[in-house]
Amino acid sequence: MKKQELFDAVLGYLGSTMDATETELHFSNPFELVIAVVLSAQCTDKRINMVTPRLFQDFPSPEAMAETTPEVIYEYIKSVSYPNNKAKHLVGLAKVLVRDFGGEVPSTLEELTQLPGVGRKTANVVQAVAFGKAALAVDTHVFRVSHRLGLVPSTCKTPYSVEMALRKYIPEHLVASSHYWLLLHGRYTCVARKPKCEKCGLATLCKTFKKGEMLK
């Protein structure tokens, strides 16, 4: 099977079995989204959705969050991973939004990555979900699934190289959705340990499964 045919088959299956939602994080505007995505690093979306309602209620805007301190924010997010660092990032990015962007979340990769705590992956999520751009975030799930299925060569050792390899074969209008589909497939089916190959509709296409190399 040619590479493009593999991509078409994988995306066709995932697109037919998943809805059009682009994130499991709860948010109502770009500011809330960037906050939620920063918090979600090495933490579950379920946990983030438990702590953000009160945080968003008490700090509904960059201006409000910029006026508080990391110590105050810590009390809202202390149940997430790395709360001290994330509290500093949230107050810091709020201050930058107010100072440099008029209190509005920017929509470009270059501008988003100027915000404390926002790297390429987070910026791509915000671009895709908040602004409808063709941006593809590569997290640990997307990275793992892409390699296992054989969508990217084994020489792709970094998230950036995986992103570039995937972009070669994914149509522009499916780029943002593809991130979410691959992420969910990795989160619930092609999990890191004991992947659920017997329930996977992609097993017959999967390079790793066909080689009998899947983890037990």
Instruction: Exactly one of 8, 19, 139, 207 is catalytic; name it.
Output: 139
Is 215 part of any domain? no
Amino acid type, 176: A
Q: What CATH number did the domain enclosing 180 receive?
A: 1.10.1670.10
Give yes or no: residues 124 and 157 share one domain: no
Q: What's the whole-model pTM score?
A: 0.90
Give yes or no: residues 70 and 145 share one domain: no
Boundary-marking domain end, from 109, 131, 153? 131
Instruction: Exactly one of 121, 194, 196, 207 is catalytic; name it.
Output: 121
Is 15 part of any domain? yes
Active site annotation includes 139 = yes
Q: What CATH number did the domain enclosing 43 receive?
A: 1.10.340.30
Number of neighbours of residue 22 by Cβ within 10 angstroms: 17
**Can you tell me the mean pLDDT for 24-47?**
95
**15-19, 96-100, 180-184: least confident range:** 15-19
Is 25 part of any domain? no
pLDDT of residue 112: 98
Give yes or no: residues 39 and 120 share one domain: yes
pLDDT band at 214 (very low <50, low <70, confident <90, very high): low
Nearest C-alpha neighbor of 75 from the set 45, 54, 96, 60: 54
State how many domains the chain has: 2
Boundary-marking domain end, from 131, 148, 181? 131
Active site annotation includes 121 = yes
pLDDT tops 80 at residue 216: no
Boundary-marking domain end, from 96, 131, 166? 131
pLDDT tops 60 at residue 215: no
Give yes or no: residues 34 and 80 share one domain: yes
Q: Can you give the residue range of the structural domain that contains 205?
A: 3-20+137-210
Query: In the numeric block, which tokens belong to residue 148?
Result: 């296992």
Is 167 part of any domain? yes
- The residues, ordered by sequence, that sit 6+ positions from 31 with a Cβ below 8 Å of its Cβ are 61, 62, 97, 105
